Structure 1
Amino acid sequence: MSKQKYFFLILILGSLTALGPFSIDMYLPGFPAIAQDLNTTAARVALSLSSFFIGISAGQLLYGPLLDRFGRKTPLYLGLGLYIAASVGCATIRTIDGLIVLRFVQAIGSCAAGVASVAMVRDLFPVKDSAKVFALLMLVVGLSPMIAPTVGSYVTAAFGWQGVFITLGIMGAMMLIASRLWLPESYTPDTSLSLKPGPILTNFWAVLREPQFYTYTFAGAVAFSGLFAYVADSPLVFMDIFGVDAKVYGWIFAFLSIGLIGSSQVNSVLLRKYQSQQLIFAALICQVITSLVFLALTSLGMIGLGGTIALLFIFLCCLGFSNPNTAALSLAPFSKNAGSASALMGAIQMGMGSLASMGVSVFSNHTAVPMVTIMAATSLLALLLLVIGRRQIVEQVEVPTGQLAAPVH
């Protein structure tokens, strides 16, 4: 493979991987403007984020079998077309209920890009190069929450919140054209593969029954759901309560993302000395303490903008340590069903995240208390699930060297 072709493949696959994170983060600075234009509240607008998380959760389970049955490109084209149409719909919709529904559809479309890009890395690159390629893709995913809100804040300021969805639609169209012109079909469709629900559900059930999988998957997903509560409520907390403008909010969000991304990189270094399970326990204990202190100070009205940013930064650092390790230990027992296990783990994580983001919307009282309460409750529950679940694991399968999963956003 020539260097030019290699570069284009990485560029296209990286862009596909980033579509979902950009769709989540880019419109966050526009929450107040959306609420004003659609005659609703920022908390109600946050339900459009929850519906997006639900769509991603469902999409991960949907596209796995489709990509194996029909090849990589046909489902990808279908998903990107759906994404473009939904993005245009989001830009022109005039009701909040319509936006909530269209964001769900947009998520189903974007999920095709993420799932297909991962599958195509395995198809197109030798095994010895795949780890390097995945690392590059995960770097794109990690940079997305740092870049997307800042870009979104400037687009919102210049063109209104509708401009964000038009921009996302243009991104989707560019990826569709690039995929059509320069992305090869990397997999021969397996016409013998059954798409009936029965065999698919049986396969997922076999994965779910593994104690190591359900222990670390549910503990990790519940712990990580605090991130979704933060993402959903951060526009209200920073722009409504603390009164920062959209551009400043974008820079705050970018700074806080450094905590999650940076700690995940430090985690890789610490794994040379410590085991994954040790880092998970330490991270969860720190997360519980941080969130309880955060809740106490917020409830008493004793914390300002600086303190809120500092405690959120520590909280996200904890997730940067726990999430890659819980993901890696969840998938470690599987040699044959790794694809199904990965899809199920992603769906559970997004499902838990959607519940957390819905929670901050439902219990919104124009303070940060609902967000911080959910962060504290999920941290405690995650630690409890880990302690109880570990007793069910007869013999833990350790993570092979160099196969630690990257943090999910």
Structure 2
Amino acid sequence: MKNRSILILILGLLSAIGPFSIDTYLSGFPTIAKDLGVTVDEVAYSLSSFFIGISVGQLIYGPLLDRFGRKKPLMIGLSIYLVASLACATANSVEVLIAARFLQALGACVGMVAPRAIVRDVFPVEETAKIFSLLMLILGVSPIIAPSVGSYMITLMGWHSVFYMQFGLGVILFLACYFALPESKKPDESISLKPKAIILSFIDILKVPQFYTYAFAGALISAGVYAYLSGSPFVFMKLFGVSEKEYGWIFGFLAGGLIASSQVNNLLLKKYSSSQVVRVSLRVQTLVGVILCLVSIWGWLNLYSALALVFLFLCCQGISYPNSSALSLYPFTKSIGGASALLGALQMCFGSLAAAAVSMLSNGTSVPMTAVMAGCAVLGLIVFATGVSKLKHG
């Protein structure tokens, strides 16, 4: 039980390294923009580049994790993250920051692929949704403490200090993985790393109905969360006038919904199947997203209604994500690294597009953020309903 708890803790921390690298600097967008002589929207492109880096990087690490085992690629990725964190800390232009964030994402994304693969290596299939919920418990701590810590550091020591902190935490995680994380899969020389073989492997994964149904639906729904991440600094700090410190507390409060619901999910799984739970959560999440968008369009959105509706949206995400992820990976064994990578790449690809859409549609109101959130939810529900219908009649 002790080794199991340590393993889950390390996997949860690995999963959190990417989100932590986002959450700690969001409140610093205005400060970074002022220091570098650019607009907040231009700084937001560093968030988009991070999402794109994670999307591309996961597709690289998937085959590597299947070919060389889990640990070696993991250590390489963390090393890249450390170098890139220092580059972010010393950036003197927005262009350098955007490029360094892309490189940082290439390192951080291994912490998103490897844990999913290791969970499938170590735990029984019927436990994967529960383990993913436990990982979200650890993952959810990041958006609660990271924005507050980041905002205080930015206020006291400047925005560069946030990236030095990320470097320091990266070192700690590197050492923890090196000394305490066991290898869960032996290298497999039968896995080819030739581009054609990798592409064909991804195509084979995409052809599996259960994968594309739950992976695409889950990725689209998750993209709504990234739209919130991209648009929330402007909406809360510029439109609603909250301070950087207050934004940190608000961000943490909203993330609390994600944590609480992920643990409620474990209780629901004692009585209902993952497919039943995810079906209801996706419908509720879509309804909340549409209401949020309409309230914004009609000009009724204020600080308190935004907090309530976004909180509910994130609560649904805490239930949708672990179940859709577990169901999408269920059919795989040998190619679990590739499937995990493709799942994560889809999530981050749609996430980066959603974040970029919020920036490009910026019009000085909350509508771009809320409209993209609602649109992602509606599309996700459509994909889910269509895919499940085919599964039933397949």
TM-score, length basis structure 1: 0.86
Choose the corresponding residue for 1:39, options 29, 37, 40. Answer: 37
Q: For 1:254-275, what per-residue CA distance to the aligned partner results, in whole angstroms no more than 9, with x for missing partners?
A: 1111222222222332334444
The code of the aligned residue for 1:150 comes to S
Give the corresponding residue for 2:377.
379
User: What one-letter code is carried by the residue in structure 1 that aligns with 2:364?
Assistant: H
**Matched positions, count:** 394
Please list the CA deviations of residues 279-324 of structure 1 after superposition, one character each: whole Å capped at 9, or x if unmatched.
3343333233322222222123222111110111111122223223
Whole-angstrom distance in 2 between the partners of 1:125 and 1:293 = 39
2:153 aligns to what? 155
Distance (Å, rounded) in 1 between the aligned partners of 2:60 and 2:269: 34
Match of residue 97 from structure 1 = 95
Question: Residue 102 and residue 38 in structure 1: after superposition, are their counterparts in 2 closer, same or farther (change >3 A)?
Answer: same
**Residues 344, 38 of structure 1: CA spacing in aligned structure 2 closer, same or farther, 3 A cutoff?**
same
Partner of 1:196: 194
Task: Assess if the C-alpha contact under 8 Å between 1:43 and 1:360 holds in 2.
Answer: no
Inter-CA distance 129–297: structure 2 relative to 1 (3 Å threshold): closer
TM-superposed deviation, 1:42 = 1.8
**Cα distance, 1:339 vs. partner?**
3.4
Q: Hey, what does 1:238 align to over in structure 2?
A: 236
Following superposition, the deviation at residue 125 of structure 1 comes to 8.6
1:184 and 1:277 map into 2 onto residues whose CA distance is 32
**Cα shift readout 1:100-158 (whole Å, capped 9, x = no counterpart):** 11111001111233434555567789999999976654432122221211211111111
Aligned to 2:348: 350
* Most deviating of 267-276 and 127-136: 127-136
Partner of 2:227: 229
How far, CA to CA, are the matches of 1:17 and 1:298 in structure 2?
33
| Alignment correspondent of 1:58 | 56
Q: 1:314-393 counterparts in 2 under 5 A?
A: 314-393=312-391
CA deviation after TM superposition for structure 1 residue 389, in Å: 2.3
1:21 — aligned with what? Answer: 19
Paired amino acid for 1:262: A
Distance 1:294 1:107, change over 3 A: same
Instruction: Say yes or no: does 1:173 pair with 2:198.
Output: no
Identity rate of aligned residues, in percent?
52
Alignment of 1:3-152 (within 5 A): 12-119=10-117, 137-152=135-150
Counterpart in the other structure of 2:261:
263
Unaligned runs of 5+ in 2: none
Cα pair distance change 1:268/1:337, threshold 3 Å: same
Residues 43, 236 of structure 1: 8 Å contact kept: no
Q: Which runs of 5+ in 1 are unaligned?
A: 397-409
Q: What is the Cα deviation at residue 92 of structure 1?
A: 1.4
Q: Structure 2 CA distance, aligned partners of 1:368 and 1:309?
A: 13
Question: Are the equivalent residues in 2 in contact too, given 1:331–1:341 (CA < 8 A)?
Answer: yes
Rounded Cα–Cα distance in structure 2 between residues aligned with 1:43 and 1:50: 11
* 1:200 CA displacement: 1.7
- For 2:99, what is the secondary structure of its paired residue? helix
Cα distance in 2 for partners of 1:185, 1:328 equals 21
> In 2 relative to 1, CA 283–52 (structure 1 residues): closer, same or farther, beyond 3 Å?
same
The aligned counterpart of 1:400 is none
Deviation per CA, 1:135-185: give whole Å up to 9, x if none: 654432122221211211111111111110010011122333444455566
Q: Distance in 1 between matches of 2:385 and 2:278?
A: 11
Verify the 8 A CA contact 2:71 2:183 in the aligned structure 1.
yes
My pick for the range that moved more, 118-127 or 156-165, is 118-127
Equivalent position of 1:205 in the other structure? 203
**C-alpha contact 2:49 2:101 (8 A) present in aligned 1:** yes
TM-score by length of 2: 0.89
Q: Is the contact between residue 63 and residue 338 of structure 2 (CA under 8 Å) also seen in structure 1?
A: no
The 3 A distance-change label for structure 1 pair 252 and 133 is same
